[in-house]
Amino acid sequence: QSQLANPVQAHGFRVESLRLYLFIHEEQAENQIMSLREEINPSSYGDKITVLSIDGGGIRGIIPATILTFLESKLQELDGEEARIADYFDVIAGTSTGGLITAMLTAPDQNKRPLYEAKDIVPFYLNHCPKIFPQSSGPLMRMRALRGPKYDGKYLRKLVRKILGTRRLHETVTRIVVPTFDIKLLQPHVFSTFEAEMEFSEDALLSDVCIGTSSAPTYLPAHHFKTKDSEGNEREFHLVDGGVAANNPALLAMKPTGKVFPGSPDDLASPQSLQYEKYLMLSLGTGTSKIEKKYNAKMAAKWGILGWLYKDGHCPLLDAFTFASGDMVDLHMSLIFRSVKCEHNYLRIQDDTLSGNTSSTDKATKENMRELIKTGESLLQKPASRMNLDTGIFEPAHNGATNQEVLTSINTCVCGLADLLKNYRRREDCERNDYISGPPFDYNI
């Protein structure tokens, strides 16, 4: 087994206020990329570092859950029924609903195996989301939404504490990254297994991390909890939804600050550029309504505080923050991998065509949840796409295969993600040196 490197202290981003967020987000991302270059020399890493990233999006978490169900089923066909998503990714990052999915996939059972299979997540949503987001309408609901959170969050907190119990961040079966936003400090706080192994006060309960990253402003109340450091000193957290800071956590997941990245501590001394070609990343979105174009300048010109906070069951301000941050990250990821000529190492699966109830964060009706399952299933049949860097819209890759074909092996000559992950599989008793060459995500199958 390779000697493990010491974790590197992670850096958070400081922001002055939420109103400045969109203005400074691009600069923050650039600074983070520069810090990556200064902190890590990956020359002694394994052949590939596998990363899974899951966006936030409330009830729309059903979409990535459907895709993960398909991927895990293919991995089980290749590697046996005991295969789990967490066995194949060095890092799993999730924001908000993606953070809950991340915890479910990586929390350990009594045998130190993942507590849930991917196929358990969609039924979990179908069963519990109507109680997390109880449906009601009319003036009373609108008045409640103006006076406080739309939902009291009691069922969600009770449920998360029940399923995750006393499990802590350091116990996950693979490394995880979960962004939140500390409303008291007005800065993002990123929880990670890396930090939990290094700093006692970072080793929060998984339940607290999940509740914090899911506390969407206007929808659910903020979450407060305390931890203690190794000397017994208390540390407080005042958290709201991680989507305020990073609804798409892919860039955060690439920050190598943990033991999962083998190598000598001496590698950290000399600044060298990060070898992005070593990363194999699958990034799953929860869908957007860009094509629907449900807002426009004529509408927004008339909005005051209330209009920005509530419009036809949606929160335009929160939509702007979360969609903008997600797109900025995808833009940076696309540019990063393209600039080093390894764009095939990055696969983003996202649907920009949601409309009506399917684009809602909290429409937890049976009909809408069934539609979201269909959306996830149909997304597998759509061509693998890349973001058009000019329009921000996802467009099919030229002569592209479907997402399902890219995720699987469809003939003996070309490998899909499932085959590659099988060969990169994380095993403590061997190194991942034998792997299949060629572009990881072949869009031209």
Domain boundaries, the chain: 18-424
Of the ranges 25-29, 137-141, 184-188, 404-408, which one carries the lowest mean pLDDT score?
A: 25-29
Catalytic residue numbers?
A: 96, 241
282, 95 contact by CB (below 8 A)? no
- Both tokens of 403, joined, read 């997402």
pLDDT digits (tens, 9 = 90+) for 322-340: 777 777 888 888 888 888 8
Q: How confident is the model at residue 81 (pLDDT cuts 50, 70, 90)?
A: very high
Distance CA 212, CA 157 (A): 10
pLDDT top residue among 295 and 61 = 61
Q: Which of 251-260, 366-375, 409-418, 429-438 has the lowest mean pLDDT?
A: 429-438
Q: Tell me if 214 sits within 8 A of 225, measured CB to CB.
A: no
Mean predicted confidence (pLDDT) in 96-116: 97
Q: Specify the pTM.
A: 0.81
Here the tokens at position 102 are 């991340």
Q: CA 160 → CA 65, 100, 101, 167, distances in Å?
A: 17, 9, 11, 11
The whole-chain average pLDDT of the chain stands at 79
**CA atoms of 244 and 219, how far apart (whole Å):** 13
Higher-pLDDT residue of 290, 12: 290
* 257 has a pLDDT exceeding 80: no
Least confident of 19-33, 76-90, 137-151, 200-214: 19-33
Burial class from Cβ neighbours inside 10 Å (0-12, 13-18, 19+) for residue 287 reads buried
* Segment 89-104 mean pLDDT: 96
d(CA 226, CA 236): 4
The topology under which CATH files domain 18-424 is Cytosolic phospholipase A2 catalytic domain (3.40.1090)
* Nearest CA-CA partner of 115 in 127, 103, 125: 103
pLDDT of residue 424 exceeding 70: no
Indicate the range of 63-72, 162-171, 184-193, 294-303 predicted with least confidence.
Answer: 294-303
pLDDT at 54: 97
Q: Is the pLDDT of residue 202 over 90?
A: yes
- Give the model's pLDDT for residue 146: 67
| Number of neighbouring beta carbons within 10 Å of residue 31 | 13
Side-chain-facing half-sphere of 48: CA atoms under 13 Å:
28
The residues with which 228 forms a beta bridge, in sequence order, are 234
Q: How far apart are CA 106 and CA 84, in angstroms?
A: 9
Range of weakest confidence among 58-67, 79-88, 226-235, 420-429: 420-429
pLDDT at 228 over 50: yes
Biggest CA pair distance of the chain: 63
Cβ neighbours for 15, distance < 8 A, ≥ 6 positions apart: 21, 24, 28, 186, 187, 188
